[in-house]
């Protein structure tokens, strides 16, 4: 295997240095704000296993860039709402940091939940589960 010149952890550190990070406490306080769109980028199996933030939009990380791009055949209208604040989250804040940085590079402003869904649950944020 070739020696990596940059690790995944390095990429996360670089992404976090240039994106907006939202604390769990702040996102819990804003939950339900009609100008806020919480985007869960976790795999569908993670959502089924652990639940999700009520009202969040599921956009798997592998499709996120395509769902945000209005020129893509996969574009989703939820990402075309003017005046909304978009906050991405994953389980621990690593994937969402990388994703927020990518969306910002595309010209789409997005922040991320710094400590992820795991901390959301730990701090008592509301969770919805499949029946």
**Contact, 91 vs 42, CB < 8 A?**
yes
Q: In the structure, what pLDDT confidence band is assigned to residue 10 with cuts at 50, 70 and 90? A: very high
Residue 96 maps to a domain: yes
What is the domain range of residue 114? 8-122
**Contact, 3 vs 51, CB < 8 A?**
no
Q: In the structure, what pLDDT confidence band is assigned to residue 29 with cuts at 50, 70 and 90? A: very high
Residue 130 maps to a domain: no
**Contact, 22 vs 87, CB < 8 A?**
yes
Question: What is the distance between the alpha carbons of residues 114 and 116, in angstroms, rounded to a whole number?
Answer: 6
How confident is the model over 67-119, as pLDDT tens digits?
Answer: 999 999 999 999 999 999 999 999 999 999 999 999 999 999 999 999 999 99
What is the model's pLDDT at position 1? 83
What is the model's pLDDT at position 33? 97
Domains contained in the chain, number: 1
CATH code at position 84: 3.40.250.10
The dihedral sign for the CA sequence 62, 13, 124, 85: negative
Residue 70 maps to a domain: yes
What is the model's pLDDT at position 88? 98
Whole-Å CA distances, 107 to 89, 102, 116: 19, 9, 23
Residue 131 maps to a domain: no
Residue 2 maps to a domain: no
Q: In the structure, what pLDDT confidence band is assigned to residue 130 with cuts at 50, 70 and 90? A: confident
Residue 127 has pLDDT above 80, yes or no: yes
Among candidate residues 70, 43, 39, the one with its CA nearest the CA of residue 57: 39
Q: What is the DSSP string of 93-115?
A: SHHHHHHHHHHHHHT---EEETT
């Amino acid at each position: 295997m070739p020696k990596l010149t940059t690790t995944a952890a390095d990429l996360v550190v670089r992404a976090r240095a240039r994106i907006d990070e939202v604390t769990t406490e702040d996102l819990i306080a804003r939950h339900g704000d009609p100008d806020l769109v919480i985007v869960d980028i976790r795999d569908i199996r993670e959502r089924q296993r652990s639940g999700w933030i009520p009202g969040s939009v599921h956009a798997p990380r592998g499709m996120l860039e395509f769902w945000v791009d209005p020129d893509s055949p996969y574009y989703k209208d939820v990402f075309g709402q003017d005046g909304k604040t978009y906050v991405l989250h994953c389980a621990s804040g690593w994937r969402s940091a990388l994703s927020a940085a990518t969306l910002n590079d595309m010209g789409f402003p997005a922040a991320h939940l710094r400590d992820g869904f795991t901390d959301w649950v730990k701090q008592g944020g509301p969770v919805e589960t499949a029946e």
